[in-house]
Homo-oligomer: A and B are copies of this chain.
Amino acid sequence: MADDFILAERIAADSVAVADLVLCHVRLMDDSRYPWLLLLPRRAGLEEWTALNAADLAQLSLEIAQTGAALQTIAVFDKLNVASLGNIVRQMHVHVVGRTIGDESWPDPIWGRGARIPYAPAERDRLVGLLGASLA
C-alpha cells in the first residue's frame, strides 16, 4: 500500500525529494560528482524487481525513461546508467545516473567508489527546481 511507504533513513539522508510520479518517489542524490536520481516505487516493503506486478513493472520502466530524459535537461553526459542493486539499503531503489567519459569512476560503476560531494545548497535547489519542472 502506498500509504505504508516509508523512506529508508540512509536514502533520506543522502538525497532530496524531486517529484512523485505515478509509481515512484524521485530523489536527487546530493552528490555533485554525477547527475544522479533515485526512483523508489511507493510500495511498502518492496525489495525486489521480481515482486512488482505487471502494471508496476511497466510503469517503473517508463519512469526510468522519463527520469533519464529529465537528467538530460540539467546535464550533458555520454551514457545513462540504470541500476537496482540494494545490497546495502534493501528498500527497492533504482539509480538513474548520467555518466561522462573520464568521470571519477569511468568506465566502472559509481557505487562503492569515492566519497559523496554534496552540492552547494543553492545549486541543489536550482537542480531540484529544473528536474521537478521537467517531470511535471
Seen from chain A, the residues whose Cβ lies within 8 Å of a Cβ on chain B are 47-50, 52, 54, 57-58, 60-62, 64-65, 68-69, 72, 79-88, 90, 99, 106-109, 111-112
Closest residue of chain B to A107, judged by CB? Answer: B87
Within the complex, the shortest CB–CB distance from A117 to chain B, in Å, comes to 19
Known A-B contacts: A81-B84, A81-B86. Give 16 more (CB < 8 A).
Answer: A47-B79, A48-B79, A49-B61, A49-B64, A50-B65, A50-B69, A52-B61, A57-B62, A57-B64, A79-B85, A81-B87, A82-B84, A83-B109, A87-B99, A87-B108, A109-B111
B50, B54, B61, B68: the one contacting A80 at CB < 8 Å is B50
The A interface is mostly helix, strand or loop, or mixed, namely: mixed
